[in-house]
Amino acid sequence: MLTYFPSPYPGEWWYSVLCRYHVRSGRQKAATTLHELYGEHPLTHGRLFPGGDCHVVIKQLPDGILSLKAVLLEHTLMPYYLRFHSFEKKRSVFSNLLAGRSGGLTSIQIQTPEGKQGLKFCPICYTKDVETCGESYWHREHQIPLMPLCPKHGCRLRLVEIPLSRLSEVFLPLSSIDVVNEVNPADKTWEPLLTAALNSILSFPFETGPPLEYSNLENALLSAGFGIHAIRGCVSLDAEKLKESCINFYGKSIGEQYFAKLSPAIIYRVCRWKLTSPERYALLAIFAGLTVEELLGVKIPAVDPLLQKLLEYKDKGLAYRKEELAKLVGVSPHQLDSLAKKYNIAPFWKQCGGKRTETIRINLDAEEKQRIAKAAAIHGNGQAAVFAREVLLREVNRILQNDMGGKPNEN
């Protein structure tokens, strides 16, 4: 029986509860408290993903004092690390932990983006906890390695560096840390968004998971212009372009840690919910302009910007060479065929829809030609001939409509 074992505070990390028990017990040595908690064979605790130690401690308490289920769901990072696992995997891991067995989840990120390990705290939470609870404690949401800010106060979390493997040997209550009352705000625009995303992944109902029938992340990245149309007509995402953009967006530390090895195979697995680490999903969702609610919510249709470009050029009714149009749209000639096939668009660049074309020769001096080229560069994607034809037809149509009362020619 564990006498005077503390009840967890709201949002308190389980390791923090054990630290407060060590302080209350009055023991000088951690080894004595460890023996008290676990007996002759000390267990590993202080891990970011819980193990059988929770079960061993709670079964020594009087019935009804603490619920193991509530501890796992509300005072560990188990919901965070299991969020993108299948429902069957979640149920299996949860059952093992409730029975006192290992959860079997080992491949998790334990380092901060700077490559450090340790415990994190918010200086404002520290002060508020002392005011309301009489003591400070480690909050579980702060311990997510990628979490940059306090979700409640928006200030930068502070790191107490210590190898996480050592937490099984020592008790480090937050009250033992000297705190300087200096509050540092976010210095990057994406940090508040990432903080909210990581906190949502942790705090959603345990059963909430990815919609296996579709990927809002894939659709959002496609709409953002990262799609590649393969020859067979399917759509994939441009791994190199996405990698470079994410590294530029997040900077070197996060970019190299999470995106340096981004490949088409990894992107495919991410978009099919085959990867389970929550960090990359959160980072890609923020980059694509999605909240976690949208990421895991109802289907968001993709709007293919390549399709929009192709339709814009089609609506102009102009005659394009295939290579010329592919360059304007931003794809290869083969991808142009694939794009048209996917969206059932007749290849209007071939003979301009079956119409024969005629040539009008216009003599220009050097200045006039330069002016047209300059205007085409600004308003016509640099295609001087196509731009001049469009301007000429538009002006002719205006003259026919305004001066002769005729219906303008659509071509």
Residues 399 and 411 in one domain: yes
251 CB neighbour count, 10 Å cutoff = 13
My answer on whether 110 and 33 are in the same domain is yes
Residues paired with residue 155 on neighbouring β-strands, in sequence order: 185
d(CA 408, CA 353): 20
Same structural domain, 56 and 160: yes
Answer whether residue 129 is part of any domain.
yes
Q: Say if residue 249 is in the same domain as residue 397.
A: no
For the stretch 132-156, pLDDT in tens is 999 999 999 999 999 999 999 999 9
Q: Are residues 228 and 268 in the same domain?
A: yes
C-alpha–C-alpha distance, residues 322 and 383, integer Å: 14
What does each of the 411 residues of the chain score in pLDDT, given as a tens digit? Answer: 788 899 999 999 999 999 999 999 988 899 999 999 998 888 889 999 999 999 999 999 988 889 999 999 999 999 999 999 999 999 999 999 999 998 888 789 999 999 999 999 999 999 999 999 999 999 999 999 999 999 999 999 999 999 999 999 999 999 999 887 789 999 999 999 999 999 999 999 999 999 999 999 999 999 998 987 665 545 678 899 999 999 999 999 999 899 999 999 999 999 999 999 999 999 999 999 999 999 999 999 888 888 888 888 888 877 788 888 888 888 888 888 888 887 888 888 864 444 555 677 788 888 888 888 888 777 765 567 777 877 888 888 888 878 766 555 544
Q: Is 182 within a domain?
A: no
Answer yes or no: do 243 and 131 share one domain.
no
If asked whether residues 169 and 47 sit together in one domain, one would say: yes
Q: How many domains are contained in the chain? A: 4
Alpha-carbon distance of 167 to 171, in angstroms, equals 7
- Single out the residue in 176, 196, 229 at which a domain terminates: 176
Do residues 149 and 186 make contact, with C-beta atoms less than 8 angstroms apart? yes
Residue 275, domain member (yes or no): yes
In a domain, 148, yes or no: yes
Same domain, 36 and 106: yes
The string of DSSP codes covering 267-298 is: HHHHHTT----HHHHHHHHHHTT--HHHHTSS
Q: Give the range of the structural domain holding residue 106, as residue numbers without chain letter.
A: 14-176
In a domain, 7, yes or no: no
Both 362 and 328 in one domain: the answer is: no
Q: Are residues 149 and 220 in the same domain?
A: no
In a shared domain, residues 164 and 232 = no
Phi, psi of 348 (to 5 degrees): -70, -10
Domain boundary among 176, 200, 229: 176
Kindly state whether residue 309 falls inside one of the protein's structural domains: no
Same domain, 379 and 284: no
